[in-house]
Amino acid sequence: MSQDLAPAPTFVSTRPPAGVWVVIPARGGSKGVRRKNLRPVGGEPLVERAVRAVLAVSQVDDVYVSTDDSEIADVSMRAGARVVHRPARISGDEASSESAVSHLLAEMAEVAPLPGVIVLVQATSPFIEPADLGRAIDLVRSGECDVAFSATRADLHLWREGPAGPEGVNHDARRRQRRQDRPVEHRETGAFYVMRTDGFLEHGHRFFGRIRLVEVEPLGSLEIDTEADLRLAELVHLARQSEAIGSSPIPARAVVTDFDGVHTDDRVLVDQHGVESVTVSRSDGMGIALLRRAGIPLLILSAETNPVVAARAAKLGVEVIAGCHDKLAALTAWAAARAIALDDVAYLGNDVNDVECLTAVGWPVVVADARPEVHASAPIVLRHGGGAGAIRELANRVLTSPPHHDSTTEKGLDHG
């Protein structure tokens, strides 16, 4: 969606612009978040994510990262961008993004024809959709506008401190309107600004002439300004990744699981005699039975010494290594004895003592209620929690992957 805004009257041009360059300002310093442009989201530095998103836009001819930092320069070049050294005079905290654009154009004007369209992209927006940026570029290239920028709907009641106390900014506090009855408002996301180069050179700032906004998804409009924003971005990344993976097949040749928090809901019931018991899922038992029937090697790998672990493994007919304090060594030895590469193993865990194994295998998987700090080690997050169908969900995804597909019905299988 795009929307007209009230035009700034000075600049009007109808000549179709040719050529599209992108500028990504990425200073090395940052007060709010130290080394912000190199901080990772989903394992990728922010500047690398920005370069990758822009390179996926077919309308873009060249991508430049303007930086004063050698590490940012190296990361940017490896990602596929050209690098322009940003002088100290425009690399301080007070330097504007426009100054990086002006500097690039001045430098390049001496060696190459300038493009008709210049795009300012902020590396601190980690969820830029190439299709959104492509729409904005098309608006400017077609002559429909001189500037197009990213925005998202902002259905907010804004307040400010007035002389007599808090007062409404975009609403009348004395007459509360429903959201759908208020004028539609948008918030500038800061992700990208597409501009006619000649208009930018004339005015020296990003808003001139005929302006249009390009509406983007609210969840993807996050801008990184604080450490809290980074944590939120990681959660958004994991949610998007899990949604993208969905219930796609997992072509693993073997399945290894933790016990507590995977076969169980991570709770222990203790009676008056000190005897411990846990709750398991019959659905998970069926999943194990189906994997066994398909000939998939299985292992329960647990640091616990509770007899319930061995008892449950015996009931399921699954190998078990309990009381294990070096899970990775045990996993490696078990897989080697069966001539199975770790890349072919699906490991299902839930807590920090599973991270080494999750990192080592080809198919790292965690239950839906895994510890947050474990999610970074496992791109595959199941929809079910521990003790609530997670193993059955994993089994279904392994068995739907060739050559393990098995049409055997569940009839007659002992599923515990």
The class level of CATH for 246-399 reads alpha beta
Q: Where are the beta strands (DSSP E) in 273-344?
A: 276-277, 298-301, 319-321
- What pTM value is reported for the model? 0.61
- Measured distance between the N- and C-terminal CA atoms of the chain, rounded to whole angstroms: 53
pLDDT in tens, the chain (416 residues): 555 454 443 444 445 566 999 999 998 887 778 899 999 988 889 999 999 999 999 999 999 999 999 999 999 999 999 999 988 888 888 788 899 999 999 999 888 899 999 999 999 999 999 999 999 999 999 999 999 999 998 878 788 999 989 988 887 877 777 767 777 888 999 999 999 999 999 999 999 999 999 999 887 789 999 999 998 988 888 777 666 556 688 999 999 999 999 999 988 788 888 877 888 888 899 999 999 999 999 999 998 888 889 999 999 999 999 999 899 999 999 999 999 999 999 999 999 999 999 999 999 999 988 988 888 788 888 888 999 899 999 999 999 876 554 434 444 455 55
CATH class in words for 2-228? alpha beta
Q: Which residue ranges make up each domain of the chain? A: 2-228, 246-399
pLDDT for residue 402: 67
Choose among 255, 263, 253, 260: nearest CA to 416: 263
Report the alpha-carbon angle 49-54-60, nearest 5: 165
Peptide linkage before 17 cis (omega within 30 of 0): no
Residue 410 phi, psi (nearest 5): -80, -5
Please, are residues 64 and 46 in contact by the beta-carbon 8 Å criterion?
no
